[in-house]
Amino acid sequence: MIERGHLEILRAVDQQGSLTAAAERLYLTQSALSHSIGKLEQRLGTDIWVREGRQLRLTQSGEYLLSLATRLLPQIEHAEMLIGQFARGQRGTLRIGMECHPCYQWLLKVVGPYLELWPGVDVDVKQKFQFGGIGALFGHDIDMLVTPDPLHRPGLIFEPVFDYEQVLVVGADHPLAGKPWAEPEDLENETLITYPVEIERLDIYTRFLLPAHTSPARHKTIETTDIMLQMVAAGRGVAALPRWLVEDYGGRIPVKAVQLGKEGIPKQIFLGLRERDRTVDYLNSFMKLAREVRWS
């Protein structure tokens, strides 16, 4: 029964001081304005205002509606402004899902410049999903997925943004530290330390050990990169990580990167998003910045 137009009329009359001025402000005729309020009074069964000479005095009902207009209209107008910005890709929250444990350091190199470029967009990072990263994208729990292993599905787009090499990580005094590359058999007596990820998603298994029909003596999982590298440096095992990450930590922790096999294991970081979101400006901007990141 009470429409936004009724609240706008009450606010305009209060601000402008007369029906004539309010009608001009709202680009209405005075008769149209009076007719609109008259119909509302009929619906509500009460007067909104009464005339006292040339002045209008709000009734108790009118005073309540004016207070309602004063509270609600600014909120509605602000919401419309924000939604318009959302639609133009100028504002919102970019929710990033991570399917790459060691990629946080890489992500930070993108997020810093991105936040400066898009002051109206916040960034949130999620790592645990009830139905995996693909399900999170389809379910609108995230807007973008960071993964080294994209699963191409209709309705999703994955673009490579960063090339890297997956390497074996050993302690600085490990026998493999001086070799040009490691063979699968070199790990048969080793403890392999990985992130807590299914073996089917670990490249050192799927692209290195399993094709050679071999496995490490033991397999241990650790959640954090720092502890993993400290364990490797202490001679408690070996790990497989991106070369750029190992070289970044190498100045602080005594570890060495060793190529996996004669050909190595090249990898890429992909960014995935819903196909219908490919025109959203602040998503495209993040992808552009991600492609420009260079690790030194």
pLDDT above 70 (res 129)? no
Same domain, 176 and 243: yes
Residue 27: its pLDDT value, please?
Answer: 92
Q: Report DSSP state, residue 127.
A: -
Q: 22-40 pLDDT, tens per residue?
A: 999 999 999 999 999 999 9
Q: 66-121 pLDDT, tens per residue?
A: 999 988 998 888 778 768 867 776 677 888 999 888 888 889 999 999 999 998 88
pLDDT above 90 (res 181)? yes
pLDDT confidence of 205, banded at 50, 70, 90? very high
Residue 130: its pLDDT value, please?
Answer: 52
Same domain, 174 and 249: yes
Residue 217: its pLDDT value, please?
Answer: 95
Same domain, 278 and 153: yes
Same domain, 116 and 175: no
Mean pLDDT (whole number) for 179-183: 95
Q: Say how far apart CA 270 and CA 161 lie, in whole Å.
A: 6
Mean pLDDT, the chain, integer: 90
The CATH number of residue 49's host domain is 1.10.10.10
Kind of pairing between the strands at 156-171 and 265-274 = antiparallel
Residue 93: its pLDDT value, please?
Answer: 81
Q: Structure pTM?
A: 0.66
Residue 90: its pLDDT value, please?
Answer: 62
Mean pLDDT (whole number) for 153-160: 94
Same domain, 178 and 154: no
Residue 99: its pLDDT value, please?
Answer: 87
Same domain, 154 and 286: yes
Same domain, 224 and 251: yes
Same domain, 42 and 177: no
Enumerate long-range contacts of 64-71, CB under 8 Å, 24 or more apart.
Answer: 65/2, 65/6, 65/7, 65/10, 66/10, 66/11, 66/14, 68/2, 68/7, 69/7, 69/8, 69/10, 69/11, 70/11
The CATH number of residue 199's host domain is 3.40.190.10
27 to each of 8, 54, 67, 225, 251, how far by Cα in Å?
Answer: 12, 22, 23, 64, 69
Q: Is 284 left (phi over 0), alpha (psi -120 to 50) or beta?
A: alpha
Q: Say how far apart CA 255 and CA 247 lie, in whole Å.
A: 9
Q: Scanning the structure block, which residue is given the tokens 């444990």?
A: 101
pLDDT confidence of 172, banded at 50, 70, 90? very high
Residue 131: its pLDDT value, please?
Answer: 56
Q: In which domain, by residue range, is 43 found?
A: 4-88
Same domain, 111 and 157: yes
* Percent of residues, the chain, with pLDDT higher than 70: 97
Structural domains in the chain (count) = 3
Same domain, 234 and 185: yes
Domain-ending residue, one of 43, 67, 88:
88
Same domain, 177 and 33: no
Q: What is the dihedral of CA 186, 218, 222, 229, to 10 degrees?
A: -30
Residue 197: its pLDDT value, please?
Answer: 85
